[in-house]
Structure 1
Amino acid sequence: MQTFTVTIAKGEKFYIAQCKEHSNCFTQGKTIEEAIHNIKEVIELILEIKKPKIKVVLKEALVNAL
């Protein structure tokens, strides 16, 4: 099973999730959890991979805010 690295950053209103291996896989969510859920769906739809395994990396500014 392939693991995908997903970065999460805080935008003005939403958290933005992007897959590092595939720049066309990105989405947003009102919470970090929603952004993670949404990026899994995007990976499933675009790359046709069922139940993808992801490694979440929070952007430095977001880590400092938590």
Structure 2
Amino acid sequence: MRKNFTIEIEKDGKFYIAQCREHSNCFTQGKTIEEAIRNIKEVIELILEVKTPELNVILKKELINTL
């Protein structure tokens, strides 16, 4: 099973939304970028049954401009 995943993060209101590019059903949110990353790792571990997934995190352009 694949262990490396690409994650896109964008801001929606007060929350950061993280979604796995390879599996559209793997998504979550968090109050911070760090929380969203922790949450998406947990989602991947639970749904795809992958232990310690490696993430390539991509911030959406509009999010980069606000940081």
After the TM superposition, list the runs of 4 or more consecutive aligned residues in structure 1 that deviate by more than 6 angstroms. Answer: none
Q: In 2, Cα distance between the equivalents of 1:13 and 1:6?
A: 19
Q: In 1, Cα distance between the equivalents of 2:9 and 2:3?
A: 19
Instruction: Give the TM-score taking structure 1 as reference length.
Output: 0.97
RMSD of aligned Cα (Å): 0.8
Residues 1:41 and 2:42 aligned together: yes
Corresponding residue number in structure 2 for 1:55: 56
Q: In 2, Cα distance between the equivalents of 1:19 and 1:64?
A: 22
Residues 1:10 and 2:8 aligned together: no
CA contact (8 A) 2:18 2:29 kept: yes
Extract unaligned runs of 5+ from structure 1. none
Instruction: Give the TM-score taking structure 2 as reference length.
Output: 0.95
